[in-house]
Amino acid sequence: MNQEESRPRKRRSIFDVIERKFASYQQRWRSSLSLRTITFIALASLVGIAITGTAITYQVKNAVFDRTVSVDIERFATDTQLAQERFSVAIAPTTAQSQRVALELVSSLYDPARELLGGVLLRSPNQEFSGIPILEPETATTTRVRSLITPELREIVRSDADLGWQSVSIANAQNKEIPGIIVGKQIRIPGSGDYELYAVFSLANQQDLLNATIQAQSFGMVGLLALLVIVAWMMVRFILRPIRAAAANAQKLTEGDFDSRMKVNGADELAQLGDSFNTMASSLEEQFTRMQRMSAIQTDFVSAVSHELRSPVTTIRMAGQLIYDKRDELPPALKRSAELQHTQLRNLDAMLSDLLEISRYDAGGMALAAQDVDIADIARDVIDMAEPLALDNGVIVRLDKTGDTTAQVEPRRIERVIRNLVVNALEHAGGKPVHVSVVGGRDAVAVRVQDNGVGLTEEHAAHVFDRFWRADSSRVRKSGGTGLGLTIAKEDALIHGGTLEATGELGIGSTFLLTVPRNPGEDFSHPLPLDVPEPFTSPTAHDEPDARATEATE
């Protein structure tokens, strides 16, 4: 039983090895231009050499065959002419004389030096009885001439004043088949009637010559193919060297090394490629330097303005707070103005804080103060804090927790990310439930916030993390956001080595997915997928809960 089980496993392992080898070759084929080019050149050369070799072999074979057959037929025609003359010189031949001449004639048709393997003299059929009967002699050799004569050949010999011939396969002394031809001609023997003389000629020497030619030609073709492949390999290396250098330098450019340049030799097309690449690299370096300088100026400006505005805004806000605290003592019109002033000053203060945060990220001066935290607890606190906004919008928030949700994170930043996602969902839910899922995976923790509100298009999802971006510019934020919340949330996720993604569908809803590794900067797999939420179905009246957060734990 164990042996039977091991056999399929062994087969599978062999198949796995073959599959891995094939996959490795496939990958190398896709990634190596030189391999594809050399393979195509080799195949094209092989096809060309094969066609040329076949044509040459065919021509040589036909030339050798035609020449040999022509010589053999001419020789046989001469022999039969001499034989006819010998039979004709006798005025009143006897049977013995005719038989002797016939035997001598047939015996002369065996001469291996002339490639004659034997002959036979046959009486033509359908003749009246002759006065001088002659036995049908045949050379005493291993070549059975009679067995090689076909009815078609006899018909040709009888009907044609000239001679006829056919290609045959002859068994030699070693019982091996060799090529040859059988030639026949009709002769008239005085007093005996019409007879047919046949002779067999060997083409073994010509076949050996042809085989040697084919063998030499094959060796030459293999050498030529190898030479072509070597030349192609050298040419491909020569041509691809600057292309590979361009690819390597382009990779350096993508990594920020704008000092990378190609070596340029000569003035051909490859040199022009190098010049064009170096010009492009210089242009990119100049533009990048200019953009870096502009970005630094912009960052310094935003940071300086934010810092400079902080003090007067704080002073104005303190003064406004005093007025706001005394708003009940003011006339109705001034009371409303005090409330609006208080709200806008608070928004302005939040915007300045966000601008300062963004400027710190741009300057690369952020440091992570990570500690072990249960992210589900942070999500629960955020939902509790956002309960007034949920009640104002008539939205139910459901929290689901699955697995171990602890990770090394900075609580303040993760709380800010989740708060932005939850508040954003509450504002766009349209009175429909918001579902918050916190799931702990093997090496990461994910927080997914889904709503069944207006939804997102692919274009919206691509820009939702841009600064000050709005899908609907006419829409007013109820929570007084600054337009930088999701941008900062994205940066907070990235500083942990995590991701923040968004997707959705218009009329169905939106999904925001935060994934952070358990330890900052480590590789991780996503515990939750980024998918569009299920379409919302209205609950029945007696099943509808109050508009407050509910929690489920698995």
Cα(208)–Cα(200) distance, integer angstroms: 18
Q: What CA–CA distance (Å, rounded) separates 460 from 369?
A: 32
519 closest CA partner among 408, 410, 423: 408
Which residues have CB under 8 Å from 385's CB, separation 6+?
419
Tokens of 406: 């602890």
Residues facing 165 on adjacent strands: 183
What tokens were used for 434?
A: 């918001």
Spatial separation of the C-alpha atoms in residues 254 and 196, rounded to whole Å? 91
The pLDDT value given to residue 244? 76
The predicted-structure confidence for 406-423, as pLDDT tens digits, reads as follows 999 999 889 989 998 999
Contact call for residues 414 and 375 (beta carbons, < 8 A): yes
CA-to-CA distance for 462 and 467, rounded, in angstroms?
12
Predicted pLDDT at 103: 80
The alpha carbons of the chain give a radius of gyration, in whole angstroms, of 50
Of 337, 342, 340, 347, the C-alpha closest to 321 is: 342
Mean pLDDT, the chain, whole residue set: 79
CB–CB of 491/442 below 8 Å?
no
Comparing CA positions, the residue from 478, 479, 389 lying closest to residue 434 is: 389
* Cβ-based burial of 493 (10 A; exposed 0-12, middle 13-18, buried ≥19): buried
What sign for the dihedral angle of Cα 100, 101, 103, 104? Answer: positive
Contact 395, 433 (CB under 8 A): yes
> Hey, what are 281's tokens?
């690299």
Q: Which residues contact 281 (CB under 8 A, 6 or more apart)?
A: 249, 253, 258, 260, 261
Q: Which CATH number fits domain 368-553: 3.40.605.10, 3.80.30.20, 3.30.565.10, 3.10.180.10?
A: 3.30.565.10
Write down the domain spans for the chain.
Answer: 1-28, 89-204, 368-553
pLDDT at 548: 44
Task: Give strand pairing partners of 500.
Answer: 514
Give the SS3 label for residue 71.
Answer: helix
Tokens for 472, please give them.
Answer: 């609907």
Instruction: Flag residues of the chain having pLDDT under 50.
Output: 1-10, 473-476, 479-480, 540-549
Closest to 205 (Cα-Cα) out of 120, 112, 139, 118: 112
Please write the tens of the pLDDT for every residue from 26-60. Answer: 777 777 777 788 888 888 888 888 888 888 888 88
Please report the pLDDT score of residue 145 as a whole number: 79
Fold of 89-204: Beta-Lactamase (3.30.450)
pTM above 0.75, yes or no: no
CA 73 to each of CA 70, 101, 195, 210: distance values in angstroms, whole numbers, following the listed order: 5, 22, 18, 20
Which residues lie below 8 Å from residue 239, measured CB to CB, with a gap of 6+? Answer: 270
**Side chain identity at 361, as an amino acid letter?**
Y
- Each residue's pLDDT tens digit, 250-283: 787 777 777 777 777 777 667 777 788 788 888 8
Spatial CA neighbour of 349 closest among 319, 310, 301: 310
pLDDT digits (tens, 9 = 90+) for 421-478: 999 899 888 889 999 999 999 999 999 999 998 888 888 888 788 776 665 544 445 5
